[in-house]
Structure 1
Amino acid sequence: MNRTSIRLAALGVCALCALAANPAAAQQTAAGTTITNNVQVNYQVGGVAQTQVTASDTFTVDRKVNLVVTEVGSTATSVSPGQLAAVTTFQVTNSSNAVLDFALAATQQAGGTGAFGGTDNFDASNLRIYVDANGNGTWDATDTLVTYLDELAADTSRTVFVLADMPLGRATGDIAAITLTATAREGAGAAALGAALVQTTTANTSGVDTVFADGAGATDAARDAAFSAKDNYQVLAALLSVLKSSRVIEDPFNGTNAPKLIPGATVEYCIAVSNAAGGAPATMIAVGDVLPTATTYLAAFGTRINGTVTSGTCNADGTAGGTFAAGAVNATLATVTPGETRTVVFRVTIN
């Protein structure tokens, strides 16, 4: 054998190995399919061929009911206190050999360990279920509010979204665990939820029998024509604290040399907004401060925002911003990240 032949033979063996390692997925035979097997018997008598004898056997494929519900992403869904329409995503797969409907139910867990650890310690509200109508894997306004999946073909999946509203006042790490359960029902035709399935418990019949073949889900048992999966809504909150301080800058008699808080003195106010570490960024922080009637706003200094603090002392590194109107200073801090402090600084004179 020449070298080319050897190489071709080796390639052929490798191709056969690859085929053996990656067999094509077998397609399930549909429930209700009639399978007929024919046999032919040929024989001779005295060396003479006789008339062929035949026989056949026919049976009907029964219905295997199997389904799986999986949480998409394998991690908790991060939410903010007061967030509306927080989305968590699931996939429902019909692993049966028949077209079926699937009733859907989203429920709240009552305490205990969440889907990804932690302890369920609050309930969300207004749970509702949508099916991914456009198949883009992301909830949007085109998706359809549903209570069941209609006529899901065998060996196909649909993406389902559970939406919920979060209460205010929750802290970072709080968990609301939810469960999505799909229950197989008869495929009753379009736009109607089919009847409950009944498993055949008698001996095999000549018709289409029903066998529940599903595994145990998060909260349901095996072989109950249902499957469930959990997800957590986990709160990531901002925890703000505010410290207001003042210091005398100068007075009319001592200037800046050991000034005192006498009429005519200039006083600097500092409002320090801190966000605790480990939480979420706080945004659009509106600061409002009504001046005491015994003081006058120092317009020449103005208001400075987004400054920093060192060892409890406000630094003079803010930028111009904020307004003064109707006896009040108002300023907005765009963002204070976790572990950060930002300031609003302005000055007044004592009347």
Structure 2
Amino acid sequence: MRTTKQLLGAVSALALVAMSSAPALAAGTSAGDTITNNVSVSFDVGGVAQNAATASDIFTVDARINVTVASNDTGNVTATPGGTQNVLSFDVTNLSNETVDFDLTASYQGGTGTDANIDEENALFFLDGGDGIYNFGQAGSDDVQVTFLDEMAEDETRTVFVVSTVTSSAVDGETFQIALTADAHQAGATGLGAEIEATSGGNNVNAIDFVLADGTGVGGAEVGNNEGDFAAIGTLEVAGAVVTVAKSSRLISDPVNGTTNPKAIPGATVEYCITVANAAGAATATDVDVTDDLPFDVSYEASFGIFVNGDELCTNGAAGGSFSEGTGPSGEDQVLGDLLDVEAGQTRSLYFRVVID
């Protein structure tokens, strides 16, 4: 415990300047410190100096509880439909003149997406290991999972990552505003201490009173000033692939007419064309696998083969893919093929031929 003493009396202008130029931290004098003020009065009796009369006043510095939360993200953060690693970054700063625990909660605050497509109630919190980058679970990472911030010192700032799940129902371009709220609790106990509440009644000069001095953040569980909590918002924006699939067929030849105006009769050759398109501005579709179940009344034409990564007209493809006999859900033959990544505004195709039985 520190003690500050001040002697009342003549103070030079130089001393006043020196006192006013000392740097001030946001927290100020620590709660629990005592401030002692001594006074001395000198006097004479019959021209003879007497012993000075002295007095002292001592009081305990109270706790001014204050906290801020700020988003570290510039603009919206990309989220993936069905993804569980959608990360928002926040700084929590203890502006109190007391060491404080802070409870953490995440809440949905709006956006173009619906609350049903974001699982913020089960969001996970991770304390940054010092590099400002979420890399929990990776080799060399010092990030740790937490449920609250333990024993935050005066003027200390910690970076917290809020990691949430976006459902697979979320579509490209939807936004989700997520608030991180930090709520002040008493430090010193094992685990999260009791929530700090403002001390009512008059000032107790011999004990620490609590004064809640926080401002109003944005959204979250807080409702206004002087509530002991603060919130800030980060925004997730879904970047999903908008994939459409089309399948068409064209007659190549038949046993009677050849390639001149062929008809769909037994023995005719038919070319199937499967196109996979991704909308402009969407996220790239990766690991694109095509599985085509052949009707029972056609036979795969192995002499033509399978072509993949063709254009939207099913031309200019490269030989690839595979034929799998009887592996369909009802025993159908299957044509399988892997396409390259389909970027925004791009179309890739797979095509092959069959003969009508």
Aligned residue type for 1:230: I
Q: How many angstroms apart in 1 are the aligned matches of 2:165 and 2:72? A: 20
In 2, Cα distance between equivalents of 1:62 and 1:167: 47
Cα deviation, 1:248-275, whole Å, max 9, x if unaligned, reads 2234555444444444433221101112
Is the contact made by 1:108 and 1:123 (CA closer than 8 Å) also made in structure 2? no
Q: Report the alpha carbon displacement of residue 223 of structure 1 after superposing the two structures with TM.
A: 0.6
| 2:284 counterpart residue number | 281
Instruction: Give the alignment of 1:1-351 within 5 angstroms.
Output: 26=25, 28-38=28-38, 56-109=56-109, 113-114=110-111, 118=112, 120-125=114-119, 127-132=122-127, 134-137=129-132, 138-141=134-137, 143-189=143-189, 191-207=190-206, 208-219=208-219, 220=222, 221-252=224-255, 254-309=257-312, 314-326=313-325, 327-351=333-357
- Distance in 2, matches of 1:23 and 1:61, equals 19
- 314-323 or 37-46, which deviates more: 37-46
2:354 maps to amino acid: V
Aligned residues: 319
CA distance in 2 between partners of 1:131 and 1:168 (Å): 24
Q: Which moved more, 1:298-307 or 1:148-157?
A: 298-307
1:283 aligned counterpart, secondary structure: coil
Q: Secondary structure at the match of 1:280?
A: coil
| 1:282 alignment partner, SS class | coil
1:87 CA drift (Å): 2.4
| Pairwise CA distance, 1:46 | 10
- Secondary structure of 1:336's aligned partner: coil
Whole-angstrom distance in 2 between the partners of 1:258 and 1:198: 87
Does structure 2 conserve the Cα–Cα contact (< 8 Å) formed by 1:122 and 1:175? no
Q: Which amino acid aligns with 2:131?
A: N
Residue by residue over 1:198-246, the C-alpha shift from the partner in whole angstroms, topping out at 9 and shown as x without a partner, is 3234333313322111001223211111112223333222222211111
Ranges in structure 1 where 5+ consecutive residues have no aligned partner:
1-21
Residues 157-177 of structure 1 deviation map (CA, whole Å, 9 limit, x = unaligned): 222222222222222233443
Q: Which amino acid aligns with 1:204?
A: N
1:183 Cα shift?
1.0
CA distance in 2, matches of 1:300, 1:174: 47
Q: How does the TM-score come out when normalised to structure 2?
A: 0.78
AA in 1 matched with 2:118: A
Q: Deviations over 1:97-144 (max 9, x none)?
A: 1101112222334xxx43xxx464534236133232523331413643
The one-letter code matched in structure 1 to 2:129 is N
Distance 2:214 2:153 in 1: 16
Given residue 232 of structure 1, which amino acid in structure 2 is its aligned partner? T
Quick one: which amino acid aligns to residue 340 of structure 1?
Q
In structure 2, C-alpha distance between the alignment counterparts of 1:23 and 1:43, rounded to whole Å? 35
Q: Which residue of the partner structure matches residue 4 of structure 2?
A: none
Question: What is the CA distance between 1:305 and its match in structure 2?
Answer: 0.9
- State the distance in 1 between where 2:261 and 2:58 align: 108
Amino acid at match of 1:128: A
Q: Are 1:121 and 1:175, in contact at CA under 8 Å, matched by a contact in 2?
A: no
For normalisation by structure 1, the TM-score amounts to 0.79
Judge conservation of contact 1:279–1:338 (CA < 8 Å) in 2: yes
Give the gaps of 5 or more residues in structure 2. Answer: 1-20, 326-332
Please tell me whether the aligned partners of residues 272 and 343 of structure 1 are also in contact (alpha carbons under 8 angstroms). yes
RMSD between aligned alpha carbons?
2.9
Question: Conserved in 2, the CA contact under 8 Å of 1:188 and 1:195?
Answer: no
Deviation at 1:48, TM superposition (A): 8.6
Distance 2:105 2:84 in 1: 20
